Amino acid sequence: MSAGTVAAPGRVEQPTAPRRGPSLVGGRGGIWFVLPFMAVYAAFVLWPLLYGLGMSFFDTSLVRAESRFVGLDNYVRLFADAEVWRTLGITVLFTIGSTIPLVVIALVMALLVQTGVRGQWLWRFVYFAPFLLPVATVVLIWQWLFSGDYGLLNAALTGIGLPEVGWLTDPAVGLWSVVLLTVWWTIGFNFLLYLAALQAIPAQLYEAAEIDGAGGWRRLFGITLPLLNRTTGLVVVLQVLASLKLFDQAYILFRANGGPGGSATPILQYIYDTGFTDYRLGYASAISYVFFVLIILIALVQARLSRRSEA
Amino acid sequence: MTTAPDTANPATAPVLPRARSRAAEPTDIRRYTPLARAGIITALAVLAVLWLAPLFWAVVTSLKQEADTTVVPLEVVPDRGFTLQAYASVLANGNLVTWFVNSTVVTVVITVLTVALSAAAAYGFSRTRFRGRNVLFALTIAGIMVPPQILIVPLYRQMLAMGLADTYAGIILPQLVLPAMVFILKKFFDGIPRELEEAARVDGAGQLRIFLQIVLPLSRSILAAVSIFVFIHAWNNFLWPFIITSDPGLMTLPVGLVQVQSAFGVRYAQVMASAILAGLPLIVVFMLFQRQIIRGVATTGLGGT
């Protein structure tokens, strides 16, 4: 973060290193600044986190008052539960299938806009606007586009002589419809991250290349793309962690039924159904924690990789 | 929207005012050959058409009479012309207005409280010393890793026990914690030179006054960025409000809209009109504050959220 807007106080600077760490005076009363946030954090994140962990060792249910301690039973059952692995597989497939276009197309969009073409405001608006729509708006619009009889997508396909597709009815297609909708809806975020990174590249680098007579492609592959490596790493990680948490759009698009033949049921929906439809809260908590551990592992791998790339 | 904090990252430029940084300008389109220029504009236009088509089709559908929405083959302009009937029906229905008010109340309260709590905590972590500070900060950073979705089962039971199901408080309270915002704000406060605060302290100003009168005014840009981010996040949040509200009178727009799915069934013009009305507010906000929102997304995204 830059504090470039802060005017330096008008006095002669002592030629000492900038002082870091505690100041001579003050720094008192800090606990009162932190306490309000910490109270809310403890009550609505840390406590539910512990409470859920506790629940996962009981056969807690929404419909019975008392629950028995069952130890690791829930976890044992979970690893033998085919539905856990199936929905996890769907989630991973969605993550791979959505991350690739969400990174590549976002990069292409940002590179195209950064060429300085006219109408910067318009391009940014068009690519980013869908990101601002609530998930329900996005899903209602796409349900209409995907519709079998009156859908724009099938009309376009038949218009160019291709067969119709069962966007919402074909088990082989259902998950890819969610991918399509998600790419359209969320690409704007990655596009803006790339655009910010491109704008941070010092103009002098390009000027130097120009003097050497490097053309557009040379500039792209010699300067721009190598400098974007870190950003790409960040965008990929953010996208993977976001895609793994697929729930809202798949749940609403297929009206809670998990898609044609259950082909688009992400693991979070299985957790939701276990907890809120079957009332098996203990078991739902256990699956939640396995999913949580998976997320942490991915983040740790990412941290390890990024440290290695810096070394 | 959470990852491990990425403290060493290159992107600090987006928070600089554009005018100050030469690098913040796009390259000059005139550098490209006419052929390259035509290619660039064609590619941009194709992508734009693909990205606009769904919105265009939704708007066209919402302006038709119900009978015209299912005419095959599809037509853009119906024979009987366009009408605002669908919008009139949807608004007369009343629910949409209620949900809009609920969304506004909930989102504004969440944004104000979240930014206030996060900024105070970030200042405490950045500028003061007390026992346990590092432990609490580490605990906060660890919270960035927690997917909110895994908390819904225990949170739901907790809220039932507190008697907060189907209340504003029940919708709002669990949404006030975004640890990533504390992290971003602390990083910004760390970069503010201490001399100003020390001068004020010598003059006898208390910690709270320094925070309110010196640090916050210097942090306007980052506070705007964080506020915008929290606002978008809260306005579009679906899962928690969906779980905690069953009374249609308390639903927020994203939750209420899912009821529209079944309520209007095959009245596509009305479904599209509802979807567009629900999406419109943030689009209008974006048109008004495009630059701040873009900077906000860049800042929060690259700040490690």
pLDDT at B27: 64
User: What DSSP element (H or E) covers A70?
Assistant: none
Please report the pLDDT score of residue A71 as a whole number: 87
Mean pLDDT value across residues B102-126: 96
Domain ranges of chain A: 81-141+186-310
Where does the pLDDT of residue A115 fall: very low under 50, low under 70, confident under 90, or very high at 90 and above?
confident
Question: Which is higher by pLDDT, B192 or B11?
Answer: B192
Cα-Cα-Cα-Cα dihedral sign, residues B159, B161, B167, B172: negative
Does residue A246 surpass a pLDDT of 60? yes
A-B contacts at Cβ under 8 angstroms: 386
Q: What is the mean pLDDT of residues B203-226?
A: 89
Q: What end-to-end distance do the CA atoms of chain B give, in Å?
A: 6
The H-assigned helical ranges of A115-220 are 120-128, 135-146, 152-159, 174-199, 203-211, 216-219
Nearest CA to A60 among B28, B154, B303? B154
For residue range A184-226, list pLDDT tens digits in order. 999 999 999 999 888 888 878 877 777 777 677 888 888 888 8
Please, which pLDDT band fits residue A13 given cuts at 50, 70 and 90?
very low
- Cβ separation of B41 and A117 shorter than 8 Å? yes
**Gap between the Cα atoms of A85 and A77, Å rounded:** 12
Measure CA A123 to chain center. 23
Among the partner-chain residues A109, A136, A152, the one whose CB lies closest to the CB of B258 is A136
Name the nearest CA neighbour of B227 among B192, B190, B181: B181
Name the token pair of B19: 């005018």
Name the CATH superfamily for B95-265.
MetI-like (1.10.3720.10)
Q: Is A301 in contact with A241 (CB distance < 8 Å)?
A: no
- Domain A81-141+186-310 maps to which CATH number in 3.40.30.10, 2.102.10.10, 1.20.1440.230, 1.10.3720.10? 1.10.3720.10
Q: In chain A, how long is the greatest CA-to-CA distance?
A: 78
CA–CA gap between residue B203 and residue B214 (Å, rounded): 13
| Chain A nearest CA to B24, separation (Å) | 5
Q: What mean pLDDT is reported for chain B?
A: 85
Question: What is the reported pLDDT for A167?
Answer: 95
Judged by CB atoms closer than 8 Å, whether chains meet at B177 and A32 is answered as no
Q: Return the sign of the alpha-carbon dihedral for residues B283, B238, A173, A243.
A: positive
**Model pLDDT, residue B94:** 74
Q: For residue B197, give both structure tokens.
A: 């605060």
Judge: A136–B253 Cβ closer than 8 Å, yes or no: yes
CB contact under 8 A, B129 and A27: yes
Confidence grade of residue B98 (pLDDT, cut at 50, 70, 90): very high
Q: Are B253 and B274 in contact (CB under 8 A)?
A: no
> Tokens at residue B151, please?
């908390």
SS3 B70: coil
**A244 → chain B, closest CA residue:** B147
Contact across the interface for B154 and A45, Cβ inside 8 Å:
no
Tell me the three state secondary structure of residue A5: coil
Band the pLDDT of B7: cuts 50, 70, 90: very low
Q: CA-to-CA distance for A19 and A48, rounded, in angstroms?
A: 41
Q: Which sequence spans correspond to the domains of chain B?
A: 95-265
Report d(CA A153, CA B45) in Å as an integer. 19
Q: Exposure pattern of A244-265 as b/e (b: 16+ CB <10 Å)?
A: bbbbbbbbbbbeeebbbebbbb
Tell me which of A61-65, A78-82, A192-196, B31-35 is least confident.
A61-65
Counting beta carbons within 10 angstroms of the beta carbon of residue B210, is it exposed (0 to 12), middle (13 to 18) or buried (19 or more)?
buried
Distance in angstroms (rounded) separating the CA atoms of residues B110 and B102: 12
Query: What is the pLDDT at residue A28?
Result: 67
Residue pLDDT, tens place only, A129-142: 999 999 999 999 99
CA end-to-end span of chain A: 23
Identify each DSSP E strand in chain A by its residue range. none
